[in-house]
C-alpha cells in the first residue's frame, strides 16, 4: 500500500525571521539532486490548514517565449521565499512547491492514468510484446516552513520545515515484480532521496531530521525487506 513520505527538519533556537534563510537553503538544494532550480508556487496559510490562504502565487514550470526569446518560468528560491515571507506572523505556514524527478514506469496509452496499478501496465506491455519503459517523471514536492504558533504548534511534531515527497511508490514499487532493471531504478530513486535528505540537512544547518510516513511505517525497514540490501542515511 502506497504511503505518503515526509522529511521533517528542526533547528535549535530558531527565530521566525531566520526561517527565510532556512527555506531558501532547502529549496536551493533540489537542483543538484534531481530537482528543478526554480519554485513552481508559493502559498501562505494563516492559523491552520482549514483557513483560506492569505497569499498565493503560481510562477509556473515550463519555458515560455517572449518577444526577445525564451523565458524560463518559475521563481528563484530566494525571490519566492522573500515574497511569501513579507507577511511574517507566528501563526502562519509558508508552503512552496518545487519540481523533483524520479524514475517511474510509464503508463501506456489506454491505461486509466497515474492511478492505474503498475502491475497492469507491466502486464499490458508483456501482452503487446514490449518491454516496460522507465522514464524520469517530475512530481511537485511541497516544502513548508511553520511559524511557532501555526496549527497549535505543529512544528514540534512536523519540524520547523517539512518536505512532503508525496507517495512512496517510486522508492518501493510494491505492486511490481522487481527484475534487475526495475530494482536498479528503485535503487537510484532511493539513492537520490538519501542524497537530497543529507543535502538539505547540511545546507540549512538542521540539527535533527526525521524521514517518516503518514501510516507510521519505517521506510528503511520496508526497503530492506523489498530490496534485501542495506541502504544507509535513512535513519
The answer on pLDDT for 234 being more than 80 is no
Q: How confident is the model at residue 61 (pLDDT cuts 50, 70, 90)?
A: confident
| Higher local confidence (pLDDT), 87 or 119 | 87
User: With 50 as the cut, is the pLDDT of residue 103 above it?
Assistant: yes
**C-alpha–C-alpha distance, residues 221 and 228, integer Å:** 10
Q: Can you give the pLDDT at residue 71?
A: 66
116 pLDDT higher than 70: no
Query: What pLDDT was estimated at residue 122?
Result: 38
Q: Please state which of the ranges 9-13, 74-78, 106-110, 194-198 shows the lowest mean pLDDT.
A: 106-110
* CA-to-CA dists, residue 109 to 6, 41, 106, 116, 139, angstroms: 31, 30, 10, 12, 20
- The larger pLDDT score, comparing residue 63 to residue 34, is at 34
Instruction: Provide the mean pLDDT of the chain.
Output: 85
Residue 161 cell numbers, joined: 520545515
The secondary element (H helix, E strand) that includes residue 79 is helix 77-84
Q: What is the residue whose three cell numbers read 515550463?
A: 62
For 95, how many CA atoms within 13 A lie in the half-sphere containing its CB? Answer: 18
Q: What is the pLDDT of residues 66-102, one digit of tens each?
A: 566 666 789 999 999 999 999 999 999 999 999 999 9
Residue 33: predicted pLDDT: 97
Amino acid at each position: 500500500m502506497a504511503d505518503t513520505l515526509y522529511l521533517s527538519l528542526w533547528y535549535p533556537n530558531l527565530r521566525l525571521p531566520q526561517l527565510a534563510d532556512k527555506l531558501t537553503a532547502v529549496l536551493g538544494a533540489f537542483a543538484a539532486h534531481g530537482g528543478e532550480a526554480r519554485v513552481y508556487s508559493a502559498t501562505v496559510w494563516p492559523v491552520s490548514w482549514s483557513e483560506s490562504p492569505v497569499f498565493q502565487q503560481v510562477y509556473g514550470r515550463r519555458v515560455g517565449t517572449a518577444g526577445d526569446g525564451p523565458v524560463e518560468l518559475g521563481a528563484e528560491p530566494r525571490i519566492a521565499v522573500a515574497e511569501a515571507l513579507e507577511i511574517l506572523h507566528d501563526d502562519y505556514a509558508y508552503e512552496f512547491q518545487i519540481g523533483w524527478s524520479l524514475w517511474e514506469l510509464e503508463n501506456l496509452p489506454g491505461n486509466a492514468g497515474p492511478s492505474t496499478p503498475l502491475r497492469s501496465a507491466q502486464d499490458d506491455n508483456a501482452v503487446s510484446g514490449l518491454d516496460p519503459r522507465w522514464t524520469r517523471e517530475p512530481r511537485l514536492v511541497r516544502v513548508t516552513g511553520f511559524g511557532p504558533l501555526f496549527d497549535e504548534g505543529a512544528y514540534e511534531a512536523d519540524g520547523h520545515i517539512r518536505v512532503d515527497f508525496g507517495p512512496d511508490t517510486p522508492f518501493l514499487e510494491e505492486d511490481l515484480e522487481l527484475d534487475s532493471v526495475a530494482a536498479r531504478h528503485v535503487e537510484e530513486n532511493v539513492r537520490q532521496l538519501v542524497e537530497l535528505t543529507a543535502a538539505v540537512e547540511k545546507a540549512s544547518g538542521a540539527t535533527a531530521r526525521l524521514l517518516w510516513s503518514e501510516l507510521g511505517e519505517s521506510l528503511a525497514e520496508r526497503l530492506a525487506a523489498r530490496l534485501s540490501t542495506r541502504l544507509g542515511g535513512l535513519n
